[in-house]
Amino acid sequence: MKAFKLENEPKIGTGFKTPENYFDDFSTKILQQVNEEKETKVIPIYKRKKVLSFLAAAVVVIALMIPIVNNYNTTSKELDEDTLETYLSYQSNLNQYDLIKELDSKDIDKLGKGVALEQETLEDILASNPNIENLISE
């Protein structure tokens, strides 16, 4: 390998040169530019087409989302009768006495109004059931 000596190699110029007497009046030029008041260019928002198109797109998206959000918030959180009945039938540790404890007088009145048995239907049930004593005691 050859010995490399920096002093013997030709030097390459930087390519940048300052003009003559540039730094003599540099500070005065900078102060003049700072002191000058330039008018700022004001661009009104309504003249920009991109901003208007984005604004219109946002309004359309919001308008389309209102029914979806409204429908999502108004969905009923109450249980329907079938779901409640299925849940109660699969609960093995729940019996009729537990259900009776939870009923108040208003609920009992509603149950009485909802059941409409005719005399003939009641007689048929009692006649066909061999455990009449159990039905009477309940």
Residue 51, number of CB atoms within 10 A of its CB:
13
How far is the C-alpha of 36 from the C-alpha of 31, rounded, in Å?
9
Sorted by where each begins, the domain ranges of the chain are: 45-129
- Residue pair 88/94 in contact (Cβ under 8 Å)? The answer is yes
The answer, as to whether pTM is greater than 0.85, is no
Q: What is the pLDDT of residues 10-43, one digit of tens each?
A: 777 777 888 888 888 888 888 888 887 777 777 7
Q: Which long-range contacts (CB under 8 A, 24 or more apart) does 87-94 make?
A: none
pLDDT > 90? residue 68:
no
| 91-136 per-position pLDDT tens digit | 767 777 887 888 888 888 887 776 677 888 878 877 887 777 776 7
Amino acid at 38: K
